[in-house]
Amino acid sequence: MLFTNALSLFLPISASLVTPITCLAVETISHRDNNPRSSQTQLASGSAIEYGKVSNSLSWQASGPLYSGCNLSGAKISDCYQLSLSSVATQNLEDYGSSTPRQRTEFLTASAAAGTTHKYQWSYFLKSPVGTSTHFFHLMQLFSRDDGGPILTLDAINGVIAIRDNYRDCSKTGCPSIPLNTFTDKTTIHTVAVTYGSSNGSFKYVITDSATSNVLLSYSASGNMGGNAS
């Protein structure tokens, strides 16, 4: 699975029980809370792409500032990682020499084999204001190395938070979307159950408001869910 943001937060899936992967709070540098960072540990500075591990099964890479511990007002997450990316498109880039440089912060688990079933749960807080465009801005993705790209994603795009499914017809599966402002400035709980495989896979994703337990968005699909996947 992948988390992203005008950055690209990558969070693959792999494990067998409903396990908290990580908890995230996301801000933009230009609108950062002015709370002290004394309770935070800086993991990445934002001057170059950096890499690290949360645990043996969860890694991260970040081209923008990344902290262990959160100081964002409203983010009700105890075990928290806070990240930000500059609103200036030429800053916090993963590869300054690339023809398509990107801002990227990703949390990812180890690859999972086809035929295995995995369940994950994490908390997420996206602080406003967050701009969107017509270009992809992944908040999460199910990534298949066997297929060379994402199977499906959760995107912030054109003012909405939306599921994008690259292997099924959304007019038939009903890929849902919600207004961006119904997702920001609240702690959301994300629950995923996935069985990997090129033909007999399945995927169920539910996002709820942690304060009210109301379901904000849900999506289920079957078929190709990739292999050697995250």
Per-residue confidence (pLDDT) for residue 86, from 0 to 100 = 80
Residue of higher predicted confidence among 4 and 105:
105
| Residue 53, C-beta contacts closer than 8 angstroms, at least 6 positions apart | 59, 60
Q: Report the mean per-residue pLDDT for the chain.
A: 81
Alpha helices in 56-192 (DSSP H): 170-173
The answer to whether 87 and 103 are in contact (CB under 8 A) is no
Q: Which pLDDT band holds residue 97 (cuts at 50, 70, 90)?
A: low
CA distance 111 to 123: 22
DSSP state of 129: P
Name the least confident of 3-7, 121-125, 146-150, 172-176. Answer: 3-7
pLDDT at residue 192 in the model: 92
Is residue 42 scored above 60 in pLDDT?
Answer: yes
For 43-61, the pLDDT digits (tens) are 999 899 999 998 888 889 9
CB 126, CB 213: distance < 8 Å: no
β-pairing verdict for 149-157 and 138-144: antiparallel
What local confidence, expressed as pLDDT, does residue 179 receive?
97
Confidence of residue 105 (pLDDT cuts 50, 70, 90): confident
- Show the beta-strand stretches assigned E in the chain: 19-28, 41-44, 50-55, 58-62, 66-68, 81-85, 105-109, 117-126, 138-144, 149-157, 160-165, 177-179, 187-195, 201-209, 215-223
pLDDT at 35: 57
For the whole model, what pTM was predicted? 0.84
Question: Residue 217: which pLDDT band, with cuts at 50, 70 and 90?
Answer: very high
Q: Which residue has the higher pLDDT, 150 or 79?
A: 150
- Banded pLDDT at 36 (limits 50, 70, 90): low
% of the chain with per-residue pLDDT over 90? 41
What pLDDT sits at residue 22? 42
What are the extents of the domains in the chain? 19-223
Q: What's the Cα-to-Cα distance from 89 to each of 10, 23, 27, 127, rounded to whole Å? A: 19, 26, 15, 19
pLDDT at 227 over 60: yes
Q: What is the DSSP letter of 112?
A: B
Rounded to whole angstroms, how far apart are CA atoms 197 and 202? 8
